[in-house]
């Protein structure tokens, strides 16, 4: 089971309502106001989903300040209770300008990664550097998507895959390879066939809505 949500900040994005003091000080590393706001929005969305998940399973009622979302050394979000107990959840966050995407699943299902990007042209050099020859052929062969849409969807799958690996861009994006984008209803999540280094079982989905592309990748060794 994967829970996901995307959203923009409402007028009441008050950190005091959902962050603990230790979490607020973590956010101080993001000095740029726009990036700080993205971080805050990602945290708000993550906590909303965590509360939804916990309240659907447990006898007690959870609130956002019962949960801490930390940052791993590599930058990945990690969820635990305020008393320090890991929540056994794989959590991933992405943002673009004033929009954030967040998803989570039980940790025993695998490692989850999500990504969100605006659809825009990419240079031939970008394609040469980050896409395999087979991926460039796949982009050219897409019938239901423009080249810009397909290129951005594959980039989202790569960044979601890098987050599922927990490495970020330390792993070369060419190592996350998309073999197929299954067509499906426009604007909905549709499956993709993706390989990730070191992951035997990989499930992936992509979505194009308006000028945005999104991807989710779930990998298990």
Residues that bind ligand COA (CB under 6 A): 38-39, 42, 74-77, 92-95, 115, 159, 162-163, 166-169
What token pair was written down for 24? Answer: 């607020």
CB 110, min distance to ligand COA, A: 13
CB 188, min distance to ligand COA, A: 21
CB 32, min distance to ligand COA, A: 12
| Three-class SS state of 111 | strand
Minimal CA–CA distance to 72: which of 57, 92, 52?
92
What token pair was written down for 59? Answer: 């006898």
Complex with ligand COA: residue 122 or 150, whichever CB lies closer: 122
Complex with ligand COA: residue 40 or 145, whichever CB lies closer: 40
DSSP β-bridge partners for residue 205: 191, 216
Contact 21, 83 (CB under 8 A): no
Kindly report each contact of residues 182-188 with a partner whose C-beta sits within 8 Å and lies 24 or more positions away, as own/partner. Answer: 183/143, 183/144, 186/144
Complex with ligand COA: residue 115 or 135, whichever CB lies closer: 115
CB 85, min distance to ligand COA, A: 21
């Amino acid at each position: 089971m994967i829970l996901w949500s995307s959203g923009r900040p409402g007028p009441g994005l008050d950190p005091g309502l959902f962050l603990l003091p230790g979490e607020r000080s973590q956010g101080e590393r993001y000095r740029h106001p726009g990036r700080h706001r993205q971080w805050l929005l990602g945290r708000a969305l993550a906590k909303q989903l965590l509360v939804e998940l916990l309240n659907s399973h447990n006898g007690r009622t959870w609130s956002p300040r019962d949960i801490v979302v930390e940052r791993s050394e590599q930058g990945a979000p990690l969820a635990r209770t305020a008393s320090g107990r890991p929540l056994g959840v794989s959590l991933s966050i992405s943002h673009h300008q004033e929009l954030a995407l967040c998803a989570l699943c039980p940790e025993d299902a695998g490692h989850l990664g999500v990504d969100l990007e605006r659809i825009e042209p990419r240079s031939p050099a970008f394609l040469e550097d980050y896409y395999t020859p087979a991926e460039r052929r796949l982009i050219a062969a897409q019938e239901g998507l423009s080249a810009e849409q397909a290129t951005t969807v594959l980039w989202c799958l790569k960044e979601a895959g890098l987050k599922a690996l927990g490495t970020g861009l330390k792993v070369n994006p060419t190592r996350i390879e998309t073999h197929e984008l299954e067509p499906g209803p426009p604007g909905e999540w549709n499956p993709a066939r993706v390989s990730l280094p070191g992951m035997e079982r990989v499930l992936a989905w992509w979505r194009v809505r308006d000028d945005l592309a999104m991807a989710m990748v779930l990998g298990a060794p």
